[in-house]
Amino acid sequence: MDDSSTSSTPTSGSAAPVTGSNPLLDPRDLRMPRIADPCVLVMFGITGDLARHKLLPAIYDLANRGLLSPSFSLVGVGRRSWSDDDLRAYVEQAARAGARTPWHQAIWDQLAAGMRFVEFSSFEDDGAYSRLTGVVADLDATRGTSGNRAFYLSIPPGWFPAVTQRIAASGLVDESPGSWRRVVIEKPFGHDRASATELDALVSRIVRPDDVFRVDHYLGKETVQNILALRFANTMLEPLWNQRYVGHVQITMAENIGIGTRAGYYDTIGSARDVIQNHLLQLLALTAMEEPTSMTAPAVRAEKEKVLASVRLERHGELDLDATTARGRYDAGFQGGVPVKGYLEEDGVAPGSRTETFAAVRLEIANRRWAGVPFYLRTGKRLARRVTEVAVVFKRPPFLPFDDAATAGVGANTIVLRIQPDEGITLRLASKVPGSHMELRDVSMDFGYGGTFNEESPEAYERLILDALLGDAPLFPHQREVDLSWRILDPVIERWAAVGEPDGYRPGSWGPRSAHQLLARDGRTWRRS
């Protein structure tokens, strides 16, 4: 069919399609999947746990869903003496173990044909970067990857200077007309504000700021993205989403497991740096932001940055971090009837470590919408259950015409955004109990992803890897967001470093006593505490 004959007159109020363009590729048609350009993805740290459990299965799933170009090529970089076939066997094992889509041999054969491995004796091996350059150039010639290159840096931050310097010197990221260069970075984005700024300067050696994609895997979750849909696609909520009606907000990421084999990483980071600086502050920004003018990356980021710039650590105008923060460390004990080690007894934890496994902080937002509404953030290991949620708790009615006995079982209206593991939304409200008496009790109205949609939510890394290859950036924090997040957290970390040990807490509990006192000062309690 002649392409020139496919153009049509657009409907009133809609954007006119480009003359001579393929109508099947109209970006407004949501039936058509977005497919990444042909490219080479160079993965540093491909032999690590993250790649094995998350990244490689996600790549197979994307290929299986037809979202990667047939020319897509994967280059693994590591310290093992592997051949290309060894890499293929490793990736196949990871994909078979972790992929959520069925195995299709034809898909795998096509994907495996573009896999290459480059051995690095170290990240300072100049000769290895020369070999890497040759492998990428060969893939451009033999696989038709069009010169498009993405670099996934799943490596410890300490290696960033060596890697970025040598990637820049190798010519791998030199710009070429008609092709793109992108860098994907895994957290942590530094360990404080100064180191985050230094890290950004290192990455700027490679590519332009708009071509840097900082992965916060929480932003890839459907339930996190649904916060924006809930807020800005439903008229009924907007009039209530402010300090006039909202009493406070609780944001929780709790885990019922310990640190496992991650002591080498966790003991240098702690809960606050690991979770609050990125995940929880991003959830706060999405919950509190104003409506963006569009869902483009600049518009969404601008509103999130306004929120983060307005966050204050003060309580009622006074800065007292001992009263507005809490930290803890799980002790030895029993959880689920099974004896578990205390944090200091875990393999790989330094003797005398002061790293926290629980962190909580009270924040306020200094703007018209949220003035006077506290936001309580908490995260921890070895807590009572695994749950991540945002609970928007509304103020109680100023007057109730019912007897006190009738309302004894009534709490505050609450909207709970359930992020994991039970994905959905819960609305808690008061209702009359059937019977001859006027008795009120809290009931729940529930929406669950599993019971509503036939489609299974994609793994977060699927969405994030695809968006990085597409150059679609709304789900990736900008450096300005990272800087603002560290501005909030740095004073807390500095205060904790200057005082004693973290408070101990029992495994299977909801954290140390100081965390409960944090809310008790405001006359409140944590959910499920």
- The catalytic site residues sit at 279
One-letter amino acid at 401 equals P
Calculate ∠ Cα 404-409-410, nearest 5°.
85
CB atoms within 10 A of CB 310: 18
Give the whole-angstrom CA distance, residue 448 versus residue 185.
32
Which amino acid, one-letter code, is at 62? Answer: L
| CB distance 349 to 369 below 8 Å | no
Give one DSSP letter per residue of 126-142, joined into a string.
HHHHHHHHHHHHHHHHH
Cα–Cα distance, 272 to 417 (Å, whole number): 22
Q: SS3 for 320-374, per residue?
A: CHHHHEEEEEECCEEECCEEECCHHHCCCCCCCCCCCCEEEEEEEECCCCCCCCC
- CB-based contact 166:205 (threshold 8 Å): no
Q: How far apart are CA 237 and CA 233, in angstroms?
A: 9
Q: Around 172, how many Cα atoms within 13 Å sit in the side-chain half-sphere?
A: 29
523 neighbors 517 (Cβ within 8 angstroms): no
Sequence-distant (6+) residues with CB within 8 A of 149 are 39, 40, 42, 136, 172, 173, 179, 180, 181, 182
From the CB of residue 398, how many other CB atoms can be counted at a distance below 10 Å? 5
**Joined tokens for residue 432:** 């009359």
Distances (CA, A) of 196 to 201, 478, 482, 490: 9, 12, 7, 12
Q: Do residues 65 and 102 make contact, with C-beta atoms less than 8 angstroms apart?
A: no
Beta bridge partners of 444: 428
Round to whole Å and give the CA distance between 329 and 513.
Answer: 11
Cα(129)–Cα(120) distance, integer angstroms: 8
Bond preceding residue 188 cis, omega within 30 of 0? yes
Residue 218 to residue 225: CA distance in whole angstroms = 9
- Which candidate, 117, 285, 277, 112, places its Cα nearest to that of 195? 277
What is the CB neighbour count within 10 angstroms for residue 154? 20
Tokens at 210, concatenated: 């708009």
Q: Are the C-beta atoms of residues 335 and 382 closer than 8 Å to each other? A: yes
State how far the Cα of 488 lies from the Cα of 502, in Å rounded to an integer. 20
